[in-house]
Every structure is written in C-alpha cells, then in structure tokens.
Structure 1
Amino acid sequence: MKITVKLFATFRVGRFAEVTRDYPPGTRVGDIIEELNIPEKEVGMIMLNNRHAEPEQELHDGDNLALFPLVGGG
C-alpha cells in the first residue's frame, strides 16, 4: 500500500520533506516513526489524513501521514 509521509521542522534534517513509499498491510503509524529513527517522545503531533492520530493507528492505502516535532521556545 502507498503511504505519503510528510515531515516538518527538525524531522526533515537528514531525511526528507515528503515522500510516498510502499508499506505492507498492517503497518502502523508507530512503525513508520521507528523506521525513520525518530524517538517517539520527540513527536509533538501526528496527523493522518488531516486528523489527529496515535502511534497505534493502522494505516491504509493512500493515507497521508504528517509528523511534527515538539515545539520549544519561550
């Protein structure tokens, strides 16, 4: 199944901004986070098809996944 993954801010460093890849059925959001070597504790927001999602959520063909890091500042 084809999944489009979009990374934002610091997650793009050494990776990509957007890519569409093939994943096997049953792939979860957390599997992609792990594949990208992003520590789950650094993920601030997960959006799946423009809706908030959790790492346990299973993906489906054609899904759009966006990963945002935690935002710091004062």
Structure 2
Amino acid sequence: MRLEVRLFAYFREGRGKKIFIDDDNISTIKEVLEFINLGEEEISLLLLNGFDGTVHRQLKDGDVLSLFPPVGGG
C-alpha cells in the first residue's frame, strides 16, 4: 500500500512536508502515526483524503493523510 502523509507546522521538523509510505503492513492511521513517531495526543486535526477522520480508520492504496498540530500563539 502506498500512502502520502502531509505534515504541517512543527510536525515538519526533521520529517519534511510530505512522507511517502510504501508498506503493506500499515493498514490504519494509528499505525502511520507510530511509523512516523507521532502520538495520537499530538494531533489536533487529522484529514483523510480531505475529510475529518479518526486514528482507527482503515487505509487504502493512494490515500492522502494530512496531520496538523494544535495552533499556538496569541
């Protein structure tokens, strides 16, 4: 399965803007987070193919996952 993971804000530090994963052993968003070393609690917004999702959603070949951290500032 090939996936595209788009990272935003400080998630890009040390990882880049996009990560392409080609691994048949990954089938859920939770497994992707483990693969790129991000905890569920670190994610503020998660989009799967442009739609809100949960970490337990099943993935399919060609999916695009976008991950956003909480917004800071004031």
Same fold at TM > 0.5: yes
Distance 2:20 2:26 in 1: 17
Unaligned runs of 5+ in 2: none
Number of aligned residue pairs: 74
Higher strand share: 1
Q: What's 1:49 paired with?
A: 49
Gaps of 5+ in 1: none
State how far apart, in whole Å, the 1-side matches of 2:25 and 2:13 are: 28
TM-score, normalised to structure 2, is: 0.90
Residue in 2 that maps onto 1:11 = 11
Contact 2:26 2:32 in 1 (8 A): no
Identity %: 38
List, as ranges, runs of 4+ consecutive aligned residues in structure 1 with deviation greater than 6 Å: none
Matches within 5 A, 1:10-29: 10-24=10-24, 27-29=27-29
- CA apart distance, 1:14: 0.8
Query: 1:14-71: per-residue Cα shift (whole Å, max 9, x none)?
Result: 1121122212166100111111111211100100000001000010001000110011
Q: Does structure 2 retain, via aligned residues, the 8 Å contact 1:30–1:56?
A: yes
The alignment's TM-score, normalised by the length of structure 1, stands at 0.90
Distance in 1 between the 2:32 and 2:58 partners?
A: 11
